[in-house]
Structure 1
Amino acid sequence: MDPECAVQRAVELSMLGVHSLCLVGSVELGSLRVIGKGTTSLVVKGLARSGVVAVKIRRTDANRVSLLREARILESVKELGVGPRIRCASRNFLVWDFINGVDFAEWVEKVASREELETVLEKLLTKLFLLDQHGIVHAELSQPSNHILVDLERLEPVLVDFESASLDSQKSNLTQFMGFLVNKGNPLSEKLRKSLGLDDPLKIENLKKLLKAYKLSRDSESFREILDYFKASIIT
């Protein structure tokens, strides 16, 4: 980054109330560490006047000219309790409440009990249904590993990375995620099915039938049938 750009971004970030960045996290970036890294952005921990935050930074080589579209989507899902609670935004930065959590893949590997797994997944499926009801499609949930965080204090799933989200897609968040869960060939989904006791082929086929019906109706009744069958299959 050239010095002029660096100064401009420092001023921009200061105007959002963020006074320092903390280069810590599980992702290595050269000699530095960050919370997350993608093709268009980085996420780092920050300190603001109002407390600890996460800061999403648009990369200078990104193919997106602004983060403001994602900011508008995050505002629209805030009241649903689905994504991070955004505080403010600019062309190059998004600032939201820091989440004390880990990504979905890491959490599945380390989850303490089946009860915790059931609790988080039931919350997650309910949030995906809410998004479907509001016509917001995340678009990345068939590969959920880095797009879902689990808040370790509240056992709460939080969807992140809405930059590819759509407001007019006919796809379904619920069926995208459940498609990941029931389809073979993914080590994470296979571990998840085994942990839940959902590795019986008959259970999977019955669940697929319910998902097919949900794709047609997307109503609360068909969602409840999926959720009830999902919970019953885990118990038996």
Structure 2
Amino acid sequence: MRLDNSWIKVLSYPKGDIVRSLRIWDALLSYGVRELINYGQVRIGNVNVLGKGHSSIVVLARHESLGLVVIKIRRTDSKTPTLLHECNLMRKSYPIAPKIFYCSDDVIVREYVKGEYLSDVVDKIKSCKEAVALILKVLGATYWLDLNNIDHKELSIPSKHILISKEGSVKIIDFESGRMGSACNVCRVASWLIIRRGLLRKHCKVKDGKFLERVIELLRDYKYSKENFKKLLSFVIRHSK
């Protein structure tokens, strides 16, 4: 693939540094990336990309042996000096995070997860059974992070940081603000799903007047305890009946 001006801008967004773009592209070619794919809902110049954040651009690409992959590219105006920190956290978070194939200061090449953002899945829920299944699945993934002392830091609003694959598995992305240490990813996601988005109240017709009070109490008592986590799951399941 010949790197045209449109992709030069993407690889060094927003500066459009030709030298940097060619350096990144040469590194990707050496790793086996053969094509950057014009795909996604975000437009940069003449091409579509998967995403554009305050510190990076995310594009779909094709690898010579891996097939479709996702490439995260550090923006030229990013306050983050390197993507290696995020890369290391994602490696430690696998299989909850997508599999990492290659990393450098400027790029992360990872597994492509075909699926939907958590917010889109939540919007499509039509039954109590679906709501409970989603809550249990996502809580299970965040509990795994908590047990491994990985603090994502941005799961208070997890809508675009969690993907649900076509097969139904949970994948968590965007670890740039994360760190190793005590965390409560479960607390953040449970608060968003159960309290803020109100999945149980909306779809399971919860009538318990002290429902929210009990949720807050369970999350306060959680503290990485397997027993207390089971109490939280039992509470969710009980309200599906």
Check 1:82–1:116 CA distance in 2 against 1; reply closer, same or farther (3 A cut). Answer: same
Query: Given residue 27 of structure 1, which amino acid in structure 2 is its aligned partner?
Result: V
Check 1:199–1:56 CA distance in 2 against 1; reply closer, same or farther (3 A cut). Answer: farther
Matching residue of 1:181: 193
Give the drift of 1:207.
1.7
CA distance in 1, matches of 2:46, 2:141: 37
Structure 1: give runs of 5+ residues left out of the alignment: none
Question: Does the 8 Å CA contact 2:156/2:188 hold for their aligned counterparts?
Answer: yes
Select between 91-100 and 195-204 the one with higher mean Cα deviation. Answer: 195-204
CA distance in 2, matches of 1:149, 1:191: 18
1:213 counterpart = 2:221: yes
Matching residue of 1:94: 108
Give the drift of 1:117.
3.5
CA-based RMSD = 1.9
Matching residue of 1:162: 175
Question: Does the 8 Å CA contact 2:128/2:200 hold for their aligned counterparts?
Answer: no
Corresponding residue pairs, total? 225
1:105 counterpart = 2:119: yes
Question: Does the 8 Å CA contact 1:136/1:165 hold for their aligned counterparts?
Answer: yes
Matching residue of 1:172: 184
Q: Partner of 1:76: helix, strand, or coil?
A: helix
Check 1:18–1:199 CA distance in 2 against 1; reply closer, same or farther (3 A cut). Answer: farther
Q: 2:210 aligns with which of 194, 202, 227?
A: 202
1:2 counterpart = 2:17: yes
CA distance in 2, matches of 1:225, 1:100: 32
Give the drift of 1:181.
3.0
Larger radius of gyration: 2
CA distance in 1, matches of 2:146, 2:45: 39
Deviation string 1:132-178 (CA, Å, 9 cap, x unpaired) is: 11111111111011111111x2112211001111102x431001112
Question: Does the 8 Å CA contact 1:16/1:89 hold for their aligned counterparts?
Answer: no
Residues 117-136 of structure 1 aligned to structure 2 (within 5 Å): 117-136=131-150
Matching residue of 1:27: 42
Matching residue of 2:73: 57
Query: Given residue 176 of structure 2, which amino acid in structure 1 is its aligned partner?
Result: E
- The alignment-based identity, stated in percent, is 30
CA distance in 2, matches of 1:191, 1:233: 11
Structure 2: give runs of 5+ residues left out of the alignment: 1-15
Query: Given residue 66 of structure 1, which amino acid in structure 2 is its aligned partner?
Result: T
Question: Does the 8 Å CA contact 1:120/1:155 hold for their aligned counterparts?
Answer: no
Check 1:226–1:3 CA distance in 2 against 1; reply closer, same or farther (3 A cut). Answer: same
Query: Given residue 231 of structure 2, which amino acid in structure 1 is its aligned partner?
Result: E
Select between 53-62 and 192-201 the one with higher mean Cα deviation. Answer: 192-201
Matching residue of 1:228: 234
Query: Given residue 180 of structure 1, which amino acid in structure 2 is its aligned partner?
Result: W
TM-score, reference length from structure 1? 0.87
TM-score, reference length from structure 2? 0.86
Give the drift of 1:127.
1.3
Question: Does the 8 Å CA contact 2:51/2:58 hold for their aligned counterparts?
Answer: yes
Deviation string 1:36-91 (CA, Å, 9 cap, x unpaired) is: 2211111111100221111111111111111111111111111xx21111111111
Give the drift of 1:118.
2.7
Question: Does the 8 Å CA contact 2:149/2:183 hold for their aligned counterparts?
Answer: no
Q: Partner of 1:108: helix, strand, or coil?
A: helix
Check 1:64–1:230 CA distance in 2 against 1; reply closer, same or farther (3 A cut). Answer: same
